[in-house]
Amino acid sequence: MPHDNQKELFPVVDASGRVVGSATRGECHGGSMLLHPVVHLHVFNSRGELYLQRRPLWKDIQPGRWDTAVGGHVDYGETIDEALRREVREELGIADFQPEQVAVYEFRSERERELVHVFRTVYDGEVHPSAELDGGRFWSPREILDNLGRGVFTPNFEGEVSRILK
């Protein structure tokens, strides 16, 4: 079974996103509360439906829950745009898209702190979820709203949904 690489190196940032150091995935997710940047892309089709991915059961955070179409960590030495494009290519097989920045905010859980860079795009091409995901599909806004608070989605997605469902 696959698993997350606990030795993977992430940048540690201040509240403005300036890199102030580095730490491993294991350190960042192990309760250190080191602030590290991540990218999220919300993929809408032209009908206004939102693509969500299902997190595999082997993930160390929120296994089996539905989540943002693309979510990933920024690697040490990588820009936000480079990380966004890499993650979208790796997770959904999409190379040609126009991201629109929606927000930057701090997400805090009992295990970690992330500086989340949120983007959205409209895309009607083929989506090819990688083996890193447990599939995905488009959801109508009504279907999403009807399932909020029921343990179907990640807390991260539930906290972000109001920012992206316009």
Domain holding 27: CATH number?
Answer: 3.90.79.10
Q: What Rg value do the Cα atoms of the chain yield, rounded?
A: 15
Half-sphere exposure of 24 (CA within 13 A, CB side): 8
Residue 4 located in a structural domain: no
**Does 2 have pLDDT greater than 70?**
no
Give the domain range for residue 56: 9-164
* Spatial distance between the Cα atoms of 11 and 166, rounded to a whole number of angstroms: 32
Question: How high is the pLDDT of residue 1?
Answer: 45
What is the number of other CB atoms lying within 10 angstroms of the CB of residue 27? 18
Report how many domains make up the chain: 1
Question: How high is the pLDDT of residue 4?
Answer: 59
Question: How high is the pLDDT of residue 110?
Answer: 87
**Does 118 have pLDDT greater than 60?**
yes
pLDDT digits (tens, 9 = 90+) for 28-86: 999 999 999 999 999 999 999 999 999 989 887 789 999 999 999 999 999 999 999 99
Non-local CB neighbours of 58 within 8 Å, separated by 6+ positions = 1, 2, 3
* Spatial distance between the Cα atoms of 130 and 16, rounded to a whole number of angstroms: 32
Residue 2 located in a structural domain: no
Q: At 3, is the pLDDT very low, low, confident or very high (cuts 50, 70, 90)? A: low
pLDDT digits (tens, 9 = 90+) for 128-160: 998 878 999 999 999 999 999 999 999 889 999
Question: How high is the pLDDT of residue 58?
Answer: 86
Residue 1 located in a structural domain: no
* Spatial distance between the Cα atoms of 18 and 96, rounded to a whole number of angstroms: 28
Strand stretches in the chain, DSSP E: 9-13, 19-24, 35-44, 50-54, 66-68, 70-73, 100-108, 113-122, 136-139
pLDDT digits (tens, 9 = 90+) for 89-112: 999 999 999 999 999 999 998 889
Residue 143 located in a structural domain: yes
